[in-house]
Amino acid sequence: MNTKLNISGRLFDSRLFLGTGKFGSAKLMEEAIRTSATEMVTVALKRIDMETNTDEILSHIPQDKVQLLPNTSGARTAQEAVLAAQLAREAMETNWVKLEIHPDPRYLLPDPIETLRACEELAKAGFIVLPYIHADPVLCKRLEDVGTAAVMPLGSTIGSNQGLKTIDFLAIIIEQSTVPVIVDAGIGSPSDAAKAMELGADAVLVNTAIATAKDPALVAEAFALAVQAGRMAYQASLRAPANQASASSPLTSFLTKT
Amino acid sequence: MNTTFSDVFLQYQWDDIKQQIENCRAADVQQALSKNKRNLHDFLALLSPAAKPFLEEMAQRSHQLTVQRFGKNIQLYAPLYLSNECHNICTYCGFSMDNKIRRRTLSGGEIQLEAQALRQMGFQHVLLVSGEANNSVNTPYFLQAIAQIKPLFPQISIEVQPLDQEDYVALRHAQVNAVLVYQETYHQEVYKNYHPKGKKSNFDYRLATPDRIGAAGMHKIGLGVLLGLEDWRVDSFFNALHIDYLQKRYWQTKYSVSFPRLRPAEGVEAPNFMMDDADLLQLICAYRLWNADLEISLSTREEEIFRNHVIPLGVTSMSAASKTNPGGYVVEPSSLEQFEISDERPVAAIVSQIRQAGYQPVWKDWQPEFIGN
């Protein structure tokens, strides 16, 4: 019943993706990757030491089990992001890229115009592009048009742990999308992750809530369970909660009256 | 309209702010603490003497906010002093023109040796520092130095004399990531007493410098005041006012704040206003509570014990094993320092201290290709 997630032909058993920033040590990150059973982790190109072959982050990611998803964090324009993706492809030997263009360094909100431009260019150049975007349903369709592999709308601002503030728009995106929808940013607790999955998201990406926890490995495992539970609930087609009582005097009874 | 910070600055009076800080009561501090988002008025309450009894609570909040925003990471950098030539007289500085010290500006070969030594120590973020000698240590000199060390350092910051906007554009294109410039004091009436001679005596030109850096599209601007020159509380309020203005105006730029506390240096007077460790910690926490996104940097001016303990309390970047004299790493270790450093531990000791605190030392966090248009 639990079908695999397919992104550009690669199949994933786990629908929980992890970020690698903010961990107190590379070892804690490695343990969280293990207990979460994630199969995709994103790594900021700017954090990777390409000069030496002993990069601390990369050496703690089991690349036989996990798809590396380099991200372009730090780029403010499409041009910079495209360049970063090319560098990442060389450095990490993958054509997967998480496209992040946030010119605003405070809230790290994505620039939709630059993101669309970069996505088009990168998709043409053969990249598997997963763009981080605002929960904007129209932008999602435009990204599909230019060849995006998935969309990664935000639940709330990065690192805020505020959960699914954009839930109404996420629902529209999920309803309309022909590519996988991965809810990224703001997921603060396993219940947020479960909620996103129940809503029909194809996967979620979590970083801050795991990396800054007292026990990242334990929290990572909790997220993994929540994602599975949410996915199962979605597949079981949960009924929507009733938000009003049934009327005691039926409105349509006149049809059967003689 | 071509406004600068000066337009904002002129709406505030030093003595009024001083009075407002003194008037703060515990209730103001409690109100500031109770908020999720804090404004400059809250910042003022949090740095006031009335907040002293709340230091533990402030430290707890500061820790939480910093972990949430920056994670358990401490960025590492080291200064590379290019020159101690200076045409300014600054009463507090070891490089002041009237100090009879041997002047030295590193040559290309010497810069290379110093840079290689730093790279071998593990640093990938270097801060280039100089005095102000515009005839010889100027933008062409800096560009040359940067071109030379660029292959070694993905992240280059610079702390030199104030320059013009086109110089900052050139530096950005040369892959400079951040420019640091400290106003030293916002107390305009006494600024001239500390800076009697040289280009630095022009308060207004210095005050408008971050505007020029922002307009040049630099990724990061570092600000600070020289703590100990004047009342650090009032000066810090103005520094925050400055950051607040810049952050709204140059919204694509990151901001960092540093805390140069006056320390003894050869031929200079003792600080006018003493600031003890509790004061400095209060200030760090006040900045963090006011502005969760601000990068906070702590140099080796501070002592080992203090630096060890503030790692989780709001700081995001630290220097290590610093030399504050040109050639100090390998070329001429005995030349005169700008100021005495207090934390003289080798890099490995700092790294292990950071790890012991449960934090990850970060050597690289920048991609030099992100230079903008």
CB atoms within 10 A of CB B351: 18
How would you class A216 by CB atoms within 10 Å of its CB: exposed for 0-12, middle for 13-18, buried for 19 or more?
Answer: buried
Task: Tell me whether residue B372 is in a domain.
Answer: no
Quote ipTM for the complex: 0.81
pLDDT range class, residue A56, cuts 50, 70, 90: confident
Tell me if B367 and A79 make a contact (CB, 8 A cut-off).
no
Residue B74 φ/ψ, nearest 5 degrees:
-125, 120
Asked if the C-beta of B69 comes within 8 angstroms of chain A's C-beta atoms, the answer is yes
Smallest CA–CA distance, residue B283 to chain A, in Å, is: 21
Q: Please state the separation of Cα B340 from the chain's center in Å.
A: 16
- Which of B369, B371, B373 should we substitute to test contact with A (largest number of A Cβ atoms within 10 Å)? B369
CB atoms within 10 A of CB A93: 10
**Residues on chain B touching A44 (C-beta within 8 angstroms):** 365
Tell me the domain boundaries of chain A.
5-255
Smallest CA–CA distance, residue A212 to chain B, in Å, is: 6
Tell me if B364 and A48 make a contact (CB, 8 A cut-off).
yes
d(CA A136, CA A170): 8
Task: Tell me whether residue B369 is in a domain.
Answer: no
Q: Which of B251, B289, B250, B243 is nearest to B8 (CA)?
A: B243
Digit-coded pLDDT (tens) for A71-113: 999 999 999 999 999 999 998 889 999 999 999 988 999 999 9
Asked if the C-beta of A108 comes within 8 angstroms of chain B's C-beta atoms, the answer is no
Give the pLDDT confidence score for residue A135 in this predicted structure. 97
pTM of the complete model: 0.88
Per-residue pLDDT of chain B (373 residues), as tens digits, is 568 999 999 999 999 999 999 999 999 999 999 999 999 999 999 999 999 999 999 999 999 999 999 999 999 999 999 998 888 888 877 788 888 888 889 999 999 999 999 999 999 999 999 998 888 999 999 999 999 999 999 999 999 999 999 999 999 999 999 999 999 999 999 999 889 888 888 999 999 999 999 999 999 999 999 998 999 999 999 999 999 999 999 999 999 999 998 866 665 567 788 888 999 999 999 999 999 999 999 988 888 899 999 999 999 999 988 888 888 898 887 776 776 778 888 999 999 999 999 999 999 999 888 877 6
d(CA B353, CA B356): 5
d(CA A41, CA B202): 52
Identity of the residue in A23, A46, A103 whose CB atom sits nearest the CB atom of B365: A46
User: Which chain B residue shows the shortest CA-CA distance from A48?
Assistant: B364
Structure tokens, A182? 């991965």
Digit-coded pLDDT (tens) for A150-206: 999 999 998 888 999 999 999 999 999 999 999 999 999 999 999 999 999 999 999
| Contact yes or no for B61/B110 (Cβ under 8 A) | no
Task: Tell me whether residue B312 is in a domain.
Answer: yes
Task: Tell me whether residue B352 is in a domain.
Answer: yes
> Is A4 part of the annotated catalytic residue set?
no
Digit-coded pLDDT (tens) for A112-158: 999 999 999 999 999 999 999 999 999 999 999 999 999 999 999 98
SS3 B176: strand
- Mapped to the 3 state alphabet, what secondary structure does chain A carry? CCCCEEECCEEECCCEEEECCCCCCHHHHHHHHHHHCCCEEEEEHHHCCCCCCCCCCHHHCCCCCCEEEEECCCCCCHHHHHHHHHHHHHHHCCCEEEECCCCCCCCCCCCHHHHHHHHHHHHHCCCEEEEEECCCHHHHHHHHHCCCCCEEEECCCCCCCCCCCCHHHHHHHHHHCCCCEEEECCCCCHHHHHHHHHHCCCEEEECHHHHCCCCHHHHHHHHHHHHHHHHHHHHCCCCCCCCCCCCCCCCCHHHCCC
CATH code, domain carrying B23: 3.20.20.70
Give the pLDDT confidence score for residue A50 in this predicted structure. 76
Over 80: is that where the pLDDT of A258 sits?
no
Give the pLDDT confidence score for residue A218 in this predicted structure. 97
d(CA B309, CA B356): 11
Task: Tell me whether residue B44 is in a domain.
Answer: yes
Asked if the C-beta of A26 comes within 8 angstroms of chain B's C-beta atoms, the answer is yes
Smallest CA–CA distance, residue A160 to chain B, in Å, is: 7
CB atoms within 10 A of CB B338: 23
- Give CA separation, B142 vs A66, B145, B354, in Å: 44, 5, 32
pLDDT range class, residue A241, cuts 50, 70, 90: low
Tell me if B367 and A22 make a contact (CB, 8 A cut-off).
no
DSSP string computed for B16-57: HHHHHHHH--HHHHHHHHH-SS--HHHHHHHTSGGGGGGHHH
Options A4, A65, A98, A257, the catalytic residue: A98
Identity of the residue in A21, A87, A103 whose CB atom sits nearest the CB atom of B71: A21
Domain count, chain B: 1
Range of the domain at B176: 5-362
Structure tokens, B283? 């200030």
d(CA B279, CA B284): 9
Contact residues for A43 (Cβ-Cβ < 8 A; gap 6+): A20, A57, A58, A61, A68, A69, A70, A71, A92
Domain A5-255 CATH class label:
alpha beta
